């Protein structure tokens, strides 16, 4: 049975195969749950005589994907030579020589950035430079590895299809989840706050913080326990959940809480556990998937497993018990509950979303808003299926108290300074990473960054802010007012300026490194990413634009791809008058995209370069003028193919354009004196008759003439309708009545008789 791809994967597959033919490399970046592994399986199916070398993080991941393929009606491909990234590094030269791949599939290709695994992949690619390379991943960026973009490093930026988790939810590819916020194990947070309060010098400040902490402790004590929260949102005792833990000890603690947490839903849930170092994990996972008991809850506890590459059917939701600073891991974990094949809304219980960890869900919502804005500017608002998802906040007053306490503690400059001083005494510098949090829970990295901001902006200095005494104290413990990022930026910018001076552009290859060791290609692409996420200052943007910087993102890449299709249309048709329903061979709705550009132009959302590029193709920003030109182009094409524009009936559509209605509008405007002289002359040159009555008659005659040609007579069956819905039998009966009543002009009667009209019957 042939593999049938979902529409989004079908489009990605077409784009990827075209890119593979053109460049030999293609990356597909789609979120977890969208079925992207089927894209590679389709490549195997369409190339049965070719050898596919498939590399994956684990055999476990690959076998699970094969199971999903079989469940969908597909068959395990016979032309695949499978290796894990770890095994690839251990292959001898002879074993590498034996592979001889035509295609190489890198599953979860962001993992290739790991030092050891990366060497194995590099050896394979170096040995087979002619093999076509397809990559699959939910993300191209290695968040904790200096933001390395592996789509640039491995695929030279050749991304065939890219979709964020937020976009997938907006488009309805993944169902929006029900998101439940709560917390547990809060006693540890209380103890950390107590340590910070004890360090406060001012009695008044300390007293206020103590009061806030006590209020928070009481609120947490009164807050709903996890047992009631789970029972409140999950009524099905046969539900299946994945629970993510941080380490083995943490998992054991959580598993011991099962009776307490889930007792109100099910007194005897089935509990399973998997983690990377456990040989029994595969069997535990198999049992969990096969468990279809309709009376008991199924819980699968996970450590460093199921973060990527594995989709589990029938999962009701996920329970996040593991704090993580990586949005990539976070999205992979919640993605386990989302699936393109799932029709119900999953539930995500976020039990660790405390005051230090609020960015995660916001990042998904921001992606959704970015996708919605994009579809609005391209005229594809119809693609917006979901504009948001339900969030239930079970933290209640606790969150506000957390925030008030954090604000109170942060306001104490002296206490924060003591934290910074302790860091300096331990490490000998004050180059604190931005996200660094002390053992007491204080976000020291953020505080140091705030001091640098205050120093840079003189208006923030003063008695209540960063005064001379505080500046002196910070400098005494090694404060550098220019942070490490700024120093690195200056160094890289100077290298980029030098490159621009020598080459006249910033077309820097991805792997380009200067003689001084600056990874300029990687830095250049990171600047584009920072521009898109809004983290690049206006001053830096202007500086980069002075040396020829070109900004790019997933959506601007899409814009460029659509622009190339528009350019091709212009070359083929001589204009940019694209019917709204026009679709290219690869499925791109070019007509809708063109309409979207006009909307974006009207709202000032196009860049000057985009406006200029479209105008060079003959773009008309006037929607009414464009619509008229589109109608005229359709008329002209119709005359070329069929001969007489007056035979067009009111409901007639030409290549998706409602030409009949458009012509009626032109005749009405002509009768009202509202049609310009130029347009009148152009239509008259096509032979248009301005009388609507005459035009309607000509349309009917055209249908009768075509029927006579096709059938050799005008014996039209009762109820017969033409392809465009025109009721020919009714029209002919009306002509007989007109002829009988003496209301038909002689020339019309003669023309009908010439095609076989018998006035006694039709």
Q: What does the alpha-carbon distance between residue 116 and residue 443 come to, in Å, rounded to a whole number?
A: 33
Q: What does the alpha-carbon distance between residue 749 and residue 210 come to, in Å, rounded to a whole number?
A: 101
Q: What does the alpha-carbon distance between residue 51 and residue 714 come to, in Å, rounded to a whole number?
A: 62
Q: pLDDT per residue over 208-227, tens digit each?
A: 778 888 887 777 776 667 78
Which pLDDT belongs to residue 353? 47
Q: pLDDT per residue over 609-623, tens digit each?
A: 788 888 888 887 766
What lies within 8 Å, CB to CB, of 137 at 6+ separation is 27, 28, 29, 107, 108, 109, 110, 150
167 within 8 A of 36, measured Cβ to Cβ:
no
Does residue 269 register a pLDDT over 90?
Answer: yes
Q: What does the alpha-carbon distance between residue 327 and residue 338 come to, in Å, rounded to a whole number?
A: 16
pLDDT average, residue stretch 348-375: 67
- Beta-sheet strands, E only, within 237-386: 240-244, 270-275, 298-303, 317-320, 347-350
Which pLDDT belongs to residue 505? 74
Which pLDDT belongs to residue 101? 95
**SS3 labels along 188-232:** HHHHHHHHHHHCCCCHHHHHHHHHHHHHHHHHHHHCCCHHHHHHH
Which pLDDT belongs to residue 463? 40
Q: What does the alpha-carbon distance between residue 579 and residue 595 come to, in Å, rounded to a whole number?
A: 10
Above pLDDT 90, what percent of the chain? Answer: 11
408 within 8 A of 205, measured Cβ to Cβ:
yes
Q: What does the alpha-carbon distance between residue 283 and residue 300 come to, in Å, rounded to a whole number?
A: 12
Q: What does the alpha-carbon distance between residue 206 and residue 595 come to, in Å, rounded to a whole number?
A: 61
Q: What does the alpha-carbon distance between residue 319 and residue 315 come to, in Å, rounded to a whole number?
A: 11
pLDDT-derived band at 107 (thresholds 50, 70, 90) equals very high
Q: pLDDT per residue over 374-383, tens digit each?
A: 777 666 767 7
Q: What does the alpha-carbon distance between residue 306 and residue 299 come to, in Å, rounded to a whole number?
A: 14
Most confident of 128-142, 145-159, 606-620: 128-142
pLDDT average, residue stretch 711-734: 79
Which pLDDT belongs to residue 464? 45
Which pLDDT belongs to residue 535? 64
Does residue 354 register a pLDDT over 60?
Answer: no
Instruction: Identify any residues that bridge with 321 across adjacent strands, giving them in sequence order.
Output: none
Parallel, antiparallel or unpaired: strands 132-137 and 103-107 = parallel
Mean pLDDT of the chain: 79
Among the listed residues 621, 627, 579, 586, the one whose alpha carbon sits nearest the alpha carbon of residue 602: 621
Q: pLDDT per residue over 563-612, tens digit each?
A: 888 888 888 877 777 776 678 887 787 877 887 787 777 766 677 778 88
DSSP letter at 618? T
Taking the CA of residue 543 as centre, how many other CA atoms within 13 Å lie in the half-sphere pointing to its CB?
13
Q: What does the alpha-carbon distance between residue 199 and residue 196 come to, in Å, rounded to a whole number?
A: 5
Most confident of 102-106, 298-302, 404-408, 675-679: 102-106
In the block, tokens 């020829």 appear at 548
Q: What does the alpha-carbon distance between residue 227 and residue 500 come to, in Å, rounded to a whole number?
A: 62
What lies within 8 Å, CB to CB, of 380 at 6+ separation is 589, 592, 593, 596
Does residue 461 register a pLDDT over 50?
Answer: no
Q: What's this model's pTM, rounded to 2 decimal places?
A: 0.51
Parallel, antiparallel or unpaired: strands 52-56 and 103-107 = parallel
89 within 8 A of 116, measured Cβ to Cβ:
yes
* Burial state string for 113-151 with b = 16 or more CB within 10 A and e = fewer than 16: bbeebbebbeebbeebeebbbbbbbbbbbbbeeeebbbb
Q: What does the alpha-carbon distance between residue 490 and residue 480 come to, in Å, rounded to a whole number?
A: 15
Among the listed residues 426, 456, 451, the one whose alpha carbon sits nearest the alpha carbon of residue 438: 426
pLDDT-derived band at 307 (thresholds 50, 70, 90) equals very low
pLDDT average, residue stretch 59-76: 85
Name the region of 147 (left: φ>0; alpha: ψ -120 to 50; beta: rest): left
The percent of the chain in helix, strand and coil, each rounded to the nearest 5, is 55, 10, 40
In the block, tokens 């979901």 appear at 386
The tokens for 366 are: 């921001």
Taking the CA of residue 102 as centre, how many other CA atoms within 13 Å lie in the half-sphere pointing to its CB?
12
């Amino acid at each position: 049975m042939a593999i049938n791809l979902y529409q989004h994967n079908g489009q990605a597959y077409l784009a990827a195969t075209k890119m593979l033919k053109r460049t030999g490399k293609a990356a597909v970046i789609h979120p977890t749950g969208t079925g992207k592994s089927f894209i590679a399986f389709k490549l195997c199916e369409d190339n049965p005589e070719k050898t596919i070398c498939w590399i994956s993080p684990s055999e476990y991941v690959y076998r699970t994907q094969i199971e999903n393929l079989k469940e969908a009606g597909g068959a395990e491909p016979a032309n695949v030579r499978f290796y894990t990234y770890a095994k690839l590094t251990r292959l001898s030269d002879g074993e590498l020589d034996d592979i001889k791949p035509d295609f190489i599939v890198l599953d979860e290709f962001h993992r290739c950035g790991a030092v050891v695994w990366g060497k194995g992949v590099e050896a394979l690619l170096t040995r087979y430079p002619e093999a076509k390379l397809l990559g699959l991943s939910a993300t191209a960026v290695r968040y904790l590895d200096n933001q390395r973009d592996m789509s640039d490093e491995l695929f030279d930026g050749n991304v065939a299809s890219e979709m964020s988790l937020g976009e997938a939810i907006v488009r309805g590819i993944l169902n929006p989840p029900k998101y439940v916020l709560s917390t547990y194990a809060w006693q540890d947070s209380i103890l950390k706050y107590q340590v910070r309060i004890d360090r406060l010098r001012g009695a008044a400040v300390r007293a206020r913080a103590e009061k806030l902490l006590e209020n928070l402790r009481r609120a947490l004590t009164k807050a709903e326990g996890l047992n009631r929260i789970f029972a409140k949102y999950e009524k099905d005792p046969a539900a299946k959940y994945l629970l993510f833990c941080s380490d083995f000890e943490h998992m054991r603690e959580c598993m011991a809480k099962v009776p307490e947490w889930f007792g109100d839903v099910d007194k005897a849930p089935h509990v399973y556990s998997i983690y990377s170092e456990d040989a029994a994990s595969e069997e535990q996972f198999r049992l969990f998937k096969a468990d279809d008991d309709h009376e008991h809850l199924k819980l699968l506890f996970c450590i460093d497993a199921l973060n990527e590459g594995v989709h589990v059917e029938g999962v009701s939701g996920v329970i996040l018990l593991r704090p993580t600073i990586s949005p990539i891991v976070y999205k992979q974990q919640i993605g386990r509950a989302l699936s393109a094949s799932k029709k119900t809304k999953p539930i995500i219980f976020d039990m660790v979303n405390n005051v230090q960890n609020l960015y995660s869900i916001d990042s998904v919502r921001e992606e959704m808003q970015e996708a919605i804005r994009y579809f609005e500017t391209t005229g594809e608002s119809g693609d917006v299926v979901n504009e948001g998802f339900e969030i239930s906040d079970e933290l209640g007053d606790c969150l506000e108290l957390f925030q008030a306490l954090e604000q109170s503690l942060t306001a104490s400059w002296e206490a924060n300074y003591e934290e910074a001083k302790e860091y300096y005494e331990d490490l000998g510098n004050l180059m604190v990473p931005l996200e660094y949090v002390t053992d007491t829970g204080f976000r020291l990295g953020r505080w140091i960054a705030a001091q640098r901001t205050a120093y840079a902006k003189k208006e923030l200095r003063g008695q209540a802010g960063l005064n001379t005494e505080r500046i002196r104290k910070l400098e005494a413990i090694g404060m550098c007012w220019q942070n490490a990022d700024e120093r690195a930026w200056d160094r890289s910018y100077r290298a980029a300026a030098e490159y621009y001076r020598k080459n006249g552009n910033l077309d820097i290859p991805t792997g380009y490194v200067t003689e001084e060791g600056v990874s300029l290609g990687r830095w250049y692409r990171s600047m584009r990413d920072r521009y898109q996420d809004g983290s690049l200052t206006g001053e830096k943007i202007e500086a980069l634009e002075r040396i020829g910087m070109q900004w790019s993102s997933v959506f601007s890449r899409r814009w460029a791809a659509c622009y190339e299709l528009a350019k091709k249309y212009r070359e083929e048709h001589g204009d940019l008058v694209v019917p709204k329903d026009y679709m290219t061979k690869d499925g791109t709705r070019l007509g809708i995209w063109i309409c979207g550009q006009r909307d974006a132009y009207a709202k000032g959302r196009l860049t000057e370069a985009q406006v200029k590029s479209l105008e060079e193709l003959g773009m008309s920003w006037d929607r009414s003028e464009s619509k008229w030109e589109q109608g005229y182009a359709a008329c002209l094409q119709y005359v070329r193919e069929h001969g007489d524009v007056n035979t067009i009936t009111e409901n007639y559509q030409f290549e998706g354009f409602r030409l009949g209605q458009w012509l009626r509008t032109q005749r009405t405007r002509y009768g009202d004196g509202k049609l310009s002289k130029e347009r009148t002359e152009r239509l008259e040159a096509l032979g248009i008759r301005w009388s609507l009555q005459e035009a309607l008659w000509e349309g009917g005659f055209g249908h009768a003439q075509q029927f006579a040609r096709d059938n050799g007579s005008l014996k039209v069956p009762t109820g017969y309708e033409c392809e465009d819905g025109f009721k020919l039998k009714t029209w002919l009966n009306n002509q007989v009545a007109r002829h009988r009543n003496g209301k038909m002009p002689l020339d019309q009667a003669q023309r009908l008789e010439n095609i076989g009209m018998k006035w006694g019957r039709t």
